Structure 1
């Protein structure tokens, strides 16, 4: 069974996603446009109201100019 959205590891992922977006200098609207998503959907992911799958994670990283491997290693280093 996957961890709850409220699990600390998942919360670390949510914070990481938001940090990636901000480090790229993107607003939620700009990132949503790059990913062909609605801003509200993206916001719900950042707030922990929606899960993110690995494919969307890859798209998120790429849209922010981040290497997915490096992003995963950063999460692991943070203890997630």
Structure 2
């Protein structure tokens, strides 16, 4: 069963995504341009109003100049 978007693990994911973006010194708008989505989409993901699928996660990591393999290791260690 898929956990609710409000589950603690999704909170860990949201914090991780925000951290990746901020570490890359990107605004939500700048990241949105790189991912070809509106700023509001980035905001909704970070606020937990939208699910994150694995392909979009990979794109998010790459847009933030992070290796997905490294980022996922950090995410798992954080408790996701």
CA RMSD of superposed structures (Å): 0.7
Task: Give 1:78 deviation, angstroms.
Answer: 1.3
Counterpart residue number, 1:64: 64
Distance in 2 between residues matched to 1:58 and 1:37, nearest whole Å: 15
The alpha-carbon deviation at position 79 of structure 1 amounts to 1.9
TM-score (norm 1): 0.96
Q: TM-score, normalization: structure 2?
A: 0.96
State the aligned residue count.
80
Q: Per-residue displacement from partner, 1:36-55 (whole Å, max 9, x unpaired)?
A: 00110110000000001001
Runs of 4+ in 1 over 3 A off after TM superposition: none
Residue segments in structure 1 that go unaligned for 5+ positions in a row: none
